């Protein structure tokens, strides 16, 4: 078996509730497959501001650098959302750890478990067979460009900026992935208006030449936001910048039935970082209602991508599949048309997956 | 009757084909209601670059300033999309006319004609009753902030910037509109990451105080992109910036069945500017397949908003409705489940609407 150190950062809101189940799944896999996973815990976000004043305490960052992989929950709190003038904010922790660990490629696989066809607002015949892998650039764009607020507070700005090397490295990753899938890549930008998008497009066109076996398409973000729900099956790998990727992948959650199903992997320099796409969901936090499957599926991605444990990863996905086949549902994926289904909370759902793992 | 000057700018691609029908509808209304509409034509976009080297010739801008309203088609051409290094680009014409005429508020009403319930990729039960009015800010944001490309072509940037007065004036317009509707306003931003969004949110919070009778909600763009298709009925008026508005309204086209149905009005200082949301659609341009209804519905908005001719405007909408009820469809809104429907091209469809107007 392998010997690995995993840092768990539950973060804010439902992050606390769901990450516990991602971790339990990892512990069960370790036991069943005779691996040694050592867990540490770190704080980040609102909870870290409350405890230390800093959304990403130095100690958490140190632990992160010394781990083999990180399982993260969610970040954010209503207090900051309601007061845009606050200077110290939970999200700064997440942005900083992405930057510090060089996590430039955020992989967001969108796939529908057959059982959830009815949970989506989109028609089943449009969804069936959709299978998209997003590559969202994660350490550049308007997220990290210079921010300014004039002293009179009358003007505010953020710099949307991309460097050639940032586009090149994620484009290569996306093309490599396309080769292992259906050999299609769609790059999304707004090159008809934005200079940074024109650079994006030009660099992707260059990288594309190295992958003549992959069919490349360029699409404007507005059109992509439409095509994604009009005809999701036309997409294989989607490559895009930080901001457009943020928007498109949340939208794409409807293709997977619910946001509560979507896992993501952020990779780059060394340590991998795994997190659900959903946020801290203040409205249901602390109520035990959140869907733990996105955290559990994030654990599956961690096993596969950071540890190369493909069999173990598949075992987790199969356990999730089995749980859904047995009719177990959290609120977000419940559908009144599904007979013989049982609607349950976070812990009951997590426990079912653990049962199915054994 | 009224006496008005209308400038028609067909622009590029299918803009040429569909705008002809928007204009014919205006001519028919003038005749039926004894108004005098004088038409002029202007060039803009790729066609203007070909003819004069300038995407917005001075002459077109002059005609625009001297008109009472403008009916526009679409802009853009594959040549520029494929070559991001070209310096003179069709879209510059559209952006410049928006700026020069002070068209800061882009209204995009999203409503489903009952007959088109089946044309959407979204489930009918999710759609039925959805009725959203978008207010997209149109002369600020990353569209108009400073653009830079370094000499070595390794770095490119666009400044995402908002001034307080820009946010205030469109927020007021949106709140006023909410008062005439269901008294709900959702402001969309990315205040958890962007400084310009934090200013946006703070200013909207201030303006909200003047409209205590309107229920205000603030939503992050990623969440909004999801909620829009998950539960479109939760929205009444949506207020957002230039870039986020561009993305959300294209996405929202699926709520109306097709992009080919969506009209928009850009207003601000003086002259109003009316255009379909769809673009130039190179792939079908010149084939006579495009849906003319978005241009015709843009003409309806023009009659209502710029000329205050509400009866005439309603007459146009009813003619469109009647045409759909008779089963006439262009390709984009055709559905194989609709029996007794007739699939036709641009001109046949336009002609049916004219018949129904008389
Ligand atoms: C919480 C927020 C900063 C974050 C982002 O915008 O990147 C989240 O929406 C995500 O997608 O991971
Ligand atoms: C053609 C393009 C510049 C334009 C925009 O992005 O504003 C279009 O997409 C629109 O929505 O009117």
What is the pLDDT at residue B111?
Answer: 87
What is the pLDDT at residue B25?
Answer: 98
Catalytic: which of B190, B236, B304, B332?
A: B190
Q: Compute, in angstroms, the gap from residue B71 CA to the centroid of ligand 1.
A: 39
Residue B118 has pLDDT above 80, yes or no: yes
Q: Do B231 and A126 touch (CB under 8 A)?
A: no
Q: Do A122 and B229 touch (CB under 8 A)?
A: yes
Q: Do A247 and B246 touch (CB under 8 A)?
A: no
Report the share of chain B in percent with pLDDT over 90: 93
Res. A95 pLDDT band, cuts 50 70 90: very high
Which A positions 229-288 lie with beta carbon below 8 A of chain B? Answer: 229-231, 243, 246-251, 253-254, 259, 279
pLDDT digits (tens, 9 = 90+) for B65-86: 999 999 999 999 999 999 999 9
Residue A128 has pLDDT above 80, yes or no: yes
CATH 3.50.50.100 matches B121-256: no
pLDDT digits (tens, 9 = 90+) for A347-356: 999 999 999 9
DSSP structure string for A49-111: HHHHS-SS-HHHHHHHHTSSEEEEEE---HHHHH-TT-SS-HHHHHHHHHHHTT--EEEEEEE
Q: Which of B127, B169, B243, B246 to mutate to test the interface with A (most CBs of A within 10 A)?
A: B243
Judge if B1-106+259-358 and B121-256 fold alike in CATH terms: yes
CB contact at 8 A, B238 and B188: yes
Rounded alpha-carbon distances, angstroms, from residue A93 to A27, A45, A244, A265, A270: 27, 6, 21, 17, 19
Mean of all residue pLDDT scores within chain A: 96
Q: Can you say which residues of B are annotated as belonging to the binding site?
A: 98, 108, 136, 222, 246, 250
Q: What is the CATH number of domain A1-108+258-358?
A: 3.40.718.10
* Cα radius of gyration (chain A): 20
The full set of domain ranges for chain A reads: 1-108+258-358, 121-256
Work out which ligand 1 atom sits closest to the CA atom of A242. Answer: 7
Q: Which of A55, A156, A216, A279 to mutate to test the interface with B (most CBs of B within 10 A)?
A: A156
Residue B142 has pLDDT above 90, yes or no: yes
- Give A121's contacts in chain B (Cβ within 8 Å): 122-123, 126, 229-231
Q: Give the C-alpha separation, A265 to A303, whole Å.
A: 11
Res. A340 pLDDT band, cuts 50 70 90: confident
* Cα radius of gyration (chain B): 20
Which A positions 168-187 lie with beta carbon below 8 A of chain B? Answer: none
> B62 touching A, CB under 8 A?
no
Size of interface A-B (CB pairs under 8 A): 194
Which residues 6+ apart lie within 8 Å of B149 measured at CB? A195, A198, A199, B155, B156
Res. A69 pLDDT band, cuts 50 70 90: very high
Work out which ligand 2 atom sits closest to the CA atom of B106. Answer: 12
Res. A217 pLDDT band, cuts 50 70 90: very high
What is the mean predicted confidence (pLDDT) over B90-104? 97
Q: Give the C-alpha separation, A109 to A342, whole Å.
A: 27
Q: Residue B76's closest CA among A285, A144, A222?
A: A222
Q: Do A84 and B147 touch (CB under 8 A)?
A: no
Place of tokens 């902030």: B145
Cβ neighbours of B330 (radius 10 Å): 23
- Catalytic residue status for B54: no
What is the pLDDT at residue A358?
Answer: 87
Q: Give the C-alpha separation, B48 to B50, whole Å.
A: 5
Q: How far is A96 from chain B (nearest CA, A)?
A: 12
What is the pLDDT at residue B350?
Answer: 98
Q: Which two tokens stand for residue A143?
A: 């997220």
Place of tokens 């928006």: B98
Assign domain B1-106+259-358 to a CATH class: alpha beta
pLDDT digits (tens, 9 = 90+) for B274-319: 999 999 999 999 999 999 999 999 999 999 999 999 999 999 999 9
CB contact at 8 A, B139 and B162: no
| CB nearest to B121's CB, from A123, A148, A154 | A123
Question: Which residue's CA is the closest to the ligand 1 atom numbered 2?
Answer: A91
């Amino acid at each position: 078996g392998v010997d690995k150190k995993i840092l768990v950062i539950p973060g804010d809101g439902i992050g606390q509730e769901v990450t516990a189940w991602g971790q339990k799944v990892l512990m069960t896999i370790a036991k069943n497959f005779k691996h040694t996973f050592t867990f540490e815990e770190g704080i980040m976000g609102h909870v870290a501001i409350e405890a230390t004043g800093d959304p990403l305490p130095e100690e958490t960052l140190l632990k992160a650098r010394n781990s083999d992989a990180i399982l993260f929950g969610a970040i954010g709190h209503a207090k900051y959302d309601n007061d845009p003038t606050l200077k110290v904010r939970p999200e700064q922790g997440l942005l900083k750890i992405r930057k510090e660990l060089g996590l430039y490629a955020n992989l967001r696989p969108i796939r529908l478990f057959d059982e959830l066809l009815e949970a989506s607002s989109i028609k089943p015949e449009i969804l069936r067979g959709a299978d998209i892998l997003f590559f969202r650039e994660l350490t550049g764009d308007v997220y990290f460009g210079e921010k300014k607020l004039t002293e009179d507070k009358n003007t505010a700005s953020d710099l949307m900026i991309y460097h050639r090397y940032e586009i090149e490295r994620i484009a290569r990753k996306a093309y490599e992935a396309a080769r292992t899938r259906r050999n299609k890549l769609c790059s999304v930008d707004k090159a008809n208006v934005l200079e940074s998008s024109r650079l994006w497009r030009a660099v992707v066109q260059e990288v594309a030449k190295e992958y003549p076996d992959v069919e490349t398409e360029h699409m404007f973000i507005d059109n992509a936001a439409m095509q994604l729900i009009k005809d999701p099956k036309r997409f294989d790998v989607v490559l895009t910048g930080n901001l457009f990727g943020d928007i498109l992948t949340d939208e794409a959650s409807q293709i997977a039935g619910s946001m509560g199903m979507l896992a993501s992997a952020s990779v780059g320099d060394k340590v991998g970082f795994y997190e659900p796409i959903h946020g801290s969901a203040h409205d249901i936090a602390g109520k035990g209602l959140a869907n733990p499957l996105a955290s559990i599926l994030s654990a599956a991605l961690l096993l596969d991508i950071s540890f190369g444990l493909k069999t173990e990863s598949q075992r987790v996905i199969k356990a999730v599949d089995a749980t859904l086949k047995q009719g177990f549902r959290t609120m977000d994926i419940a559908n009144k048309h599904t007979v013989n289904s049982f609607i349950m909370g976070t812990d009951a759902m997590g426990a079912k997956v653990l049962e199915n793992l054994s």
